[in-house]
Chain A
Amino acid sequence: GAGVSQSPSNKVTEKGKDVELRCDPISGHTALYWYRQSLGQGLEFLIYFQGNSAPDKSGLPSDRFSAERTGGSVSTLTIQRTQQEDSAVYLCASSLNRRDYGYTFGSGTRLTVV
């Protein structure tokens, strides 16, 4: 597509529920990144994919967080048993390859856990 598309744009969920966030990167971009943006915390790296594999999962905050990427394209970030501290904007970015730092970001998914 023309840009990085994320859905939903907003999600309100009850504490303890599972959520899935979707990212559709730019066609042909092999690298895909997930970040979390919290008030006062800046951008926190979560995970990165090169193709369908995830060489760096170092930023996932707990085992409640997981992500997958299929067909070298769409990625899904799943948060199980959501907690209030998971409330944040989740950003996805893609780039041509893993050392091309000119990322294109989506507009994000604002997650609110109540």
Chain B
Amino acid sequence: GDSVTQMEGPVTLSEEAFLTINCTYTATGYPSLFWYVQYPGEGLQLLLKATKADDKGSNKGFEATYRKETTSFHLEKGSVQVSDSAVYFCALPLGDKIIFGKGTRLHILP
């Protein structure tokens, strides 16, 4: 069935480092793809999305490109900040709901 798989965490980086969090998916057709973020003590919020193949979603310096050839939607940021420390979830729709990956915890050291 449809699913998303994302890299295990935690990921620890120094401030200003380059970030990649891998996400691959299994799906029928070409669904929209999402990244959600959960900052400490807060609810999940939508970070970015892409609705079709080759689309690039972007927000707050983060980017992810929908690649159907590799069934991937990796999250990237060129220069991370301490405030980016959070848990990141890759997700895709399944019928009327969203299914989420297990989440990747990101720690950014000053």
Chain B proximity mask over A41-52: 1 for CB below 8 Å, otherwise 0: 111010010100
Please pick, from B42, B46, B99, the residue contacting A103 in the complex, using a CB distance under 8 A.
B46
Chain A count of residues within 8 A CB distance of the other chain: 26
- Asked if B44 and A103 sit within 8 Å, CB to CB, the answer is yes
Contact status of A107 and B95, CB under 8 A, knowing A42-B100, A43-B100: no
Cβ of B57 < 8 Å from any Cβ of A?
A: no
Stretch at the interface among A12-20, A68-76, A77-85, A91-99: A91-99
Chain A proximity mask over B83-101: 1 for CB below 8 Å, otherwise 0: 0000001000101111111
Quote the shortest CB–CB distance from B24 to chain A (angstroms).
Answer: 15
Chain A residues contacting B98 (CB-CB under 8 Å) are 33, 45, 101, 103
- Asked if B103 and A42 sit within 8 Å, CB to CB, the answer is yes
Contact status of A107 and B102, CB under 8 A, knowing A48-B97, A50-B96: no
Chain A residues contacting B101 (CB-CB under 8 Å) are 42
Please pick, from A56, A91, A102, A104, the residue contacting B97 in the complex, using a CB distance under 8 A.
A56
Query: Which B residue sits closest to A107, measured CB to CB?
Result: B43
Chain A residues contacting B93 (CB-CB under 8 Å) are 99, 101
A-B contact pairs, 15 of them (CB 8 A): A3-B43, A33-B97, A33-B98, A42-B89, A42-B102, A45-B98, A45-B99, A93-B43, A93-B44, A103-B36, A103-B98, A104-B43, A106-B43, A107-B41, A107-B42
On A, residues with C-beta under 8 Å from B are 3-4, 31, 33, 35, 40-43, 45, 48, 50, 55-56, 91, 93, 98-99, 101-108
